[in-house]
Chain A
Amino acid sequence: MERFLEGRRVLILEDNYLAALDVGQLVEDLGGEVVGPVGRLDRARALARDQRPDGAILDVKLDGRTSYPLARELLGAGVVVVFLTGYEREAIDPEFRDLPRLRKPYEAREGERVLRRAFGVGE
């Protein structure tokens, strides 16, 4: 895999530990540094403010709430936001429907493609 995430720090918010490990591994394989992973919205927000990551991979729904407010905040600060979700496109709020999306379960190649596009790296 081409390490196109070299030098980038990516926050991971995913409450399922195995899933978090997995997507973290993907980021590292692509050369990136993982911030987290965390399984709670409040921790993610705190980490984002402290660590100022370049990108964030966010689970859409956790703790009974959505990560939309956090996504909005991060996008406002110029952070690349990728959603990680098992839901269909239609289930995502219209405001965020065009954001890059990693659909669970995903293959490594597909994950790489989505992150490539999200971080604006050519094919």
Chain B
Amino acid sequence: MARNDDHNAEQILAAVSQPIVVLTSDLRVEKVNEAFCEVFDVAFEESEGRRFYDLGNGQWQIPELRRLLEEVVTKRQSVLDYRVEHRFERIGRKVMRINARILPPAGDGEAQRIVLAIDDITEVERQAHELEGRREFAEKLVDSVREGLLILDSDLRVKQANQSFYEQFGVTPEQTEGRMVWELGNGQWDIPELRRLLEGVLPEDDAFNDYEVEHAFEGIGRRIMLLNGRRLDHLDQIILAIRDVTERREHERRQAAFMGELQHRVKNILNNVGALANHLRRRSDNLEQFFEAFAPRLSALARAQQLLLEHPDGNVALSELVRLELDAVGAEAGRSYAASGQPVSLCPRDAQAMAMAVHELATNAGKYGALSVEGGRIDVTWQIEEAEGPQLRFVWRESGLRIDAPSGARGFGSEMLERSVPHMLGGRAELTFHPDGAECRIGFPLREE
């Protein structure tokens, strides 16, 4: 009988995957199983009969193990779940959980034996540690991400949201956790298309990207959001990443509008240049004459554009415009001209029109007027009068000439002046020729645009 029992015990020990050692009361190895030999890289022959501590080059000389065994021996009691960690020479670092049980003596007068059941929990501990590491990583990652994240369980109930989500939507965990995603805020996520994505697409495809939601959100107003959804199979959860693109879209819209305006302006300028060339061509007998009329006016157009570029929000000071055109024909402030008046801001369209008008006046002054004679002067003054809205009264008075018989109109420039002011500015321009020089009075209503 005993032999049968022994035989069964042998078979069981051999089959078991857990390393097992049976020790005599004086800590000699009575028996080890296959698993023990395999795990701890020792041979059967080398084990049985030896002192346990001597096994495998003394690799079991572990202080903790000694403590365990001494405790068991002295107290004659089993010790369970005893953790021992050791760096073995041949097999490396191992973490073991050891159950040390007292075995009743084999027979009368025999000493009791100790059976050690050793669980190699190295890998288990390592995995648990790694898992903890991953968990910490995920938690901190979720929390550090700038986009709002919602973690939903498979019923679409909010399990968790990150800090960015709470900040983004101005809500608290109490208002969020445990709620159905459709219930959040003012029902802002209760959108048929989103339902379709979360309930229909995600189960199939496990991901969707850039789903756009535009909505008046509770508390934060009208925003445009892009949503990415991911299904987590192992945890049976859904991640919703929410990015607010409202500002970006607005910026893109403004950029596009600005580009459109710019293109429009460029086309207008090119058209003006072409129109100018066409018009002057008809009035010129030869290339020299054409160029003489064309080139300075092209420069004036360029100057006007430059002024506008320097004031991208629109308004150009009249004083700056006047000075620019007079400087361009070589007049000197304080010597050949004086320009003054209350501060007047012109909208871009009016600025361009006035720049053309003043250019014509300055050109004429240079060719036939005050700037063409020694001692000639131009006095430019302006003011705003109230008469059915603000009206600009602009006076250009040349002096220092001696004209016996005023010649009157002088071709393209003056014609442009007298016609373009009414046309573009909705006002009037009057040219008068005094004996000592020309005078031009321009009046038009100032507008905002």
Give A contacts to B, CB under 8 Å.
15-22, 25, 37-40, 64, 86-88, 91, 103-106, 108
Contact = CB atoms under 8 A, between A and B. Distances in A.
Interface string B347-376: 001000100100000000000000000000
A22 B419 CA distance: 14
Given A18-B272, A91-B260, A37 B278 contact: no
A18 B426 contact: no
Interface residues of B, number: 26
Question: Chain B: interface secondary structure?
Answer: helix
Nearest to B422: A39
B275 to A, nearest CB: 3
Nearest to B421: A17
Nearest to A91: B260
A100 to B, nearest CB: 17
A25 to B, nearest CB: 7
A91 B260 CA distance: 9
Contacts of A105: 267, 270-271, 273-274
A26 B242 CA distance: 58
Contacts of A108: 278
A69 B190 CA distance: 42
Interface string B437-449: 0000000000001
A86 B268 contact: yes
Contacts of A88: 260, 263
B351 to A, nearest CB: 13
Contacts of B273: 105
B276 interface: yes
B317 interface: no
B449 A22 contact: no
A11 to B, nearest CB: 14
A39 B423 contact: yes
B51 to A, nearest CB: 94
B353 A17 contact: yes
B196 interface: no
A16 B274 contact: no
A39 B278 contact: no
Interface string B267-295: 11011111110110010000000000000
B179 to A, nearest CB: 44
A17 B279 contact: no
A22 B424 contact: no
A104 B423 contact: no
The residue among A20, A86, A103, A108 with the most chain B CB atoms within 10 A of its own CB is A86
B426 A86 contact: no
Given A15-B349, A25-B282, A86-B267, 14 more contacts: A16-B271, A17-B416, A17-B423, A22-B271, A22-B275, A22-B279, A38-B423, A64-B449, A86-B268, A86-B271, A87-B260, A87-B264, A88-B260, A91-B260
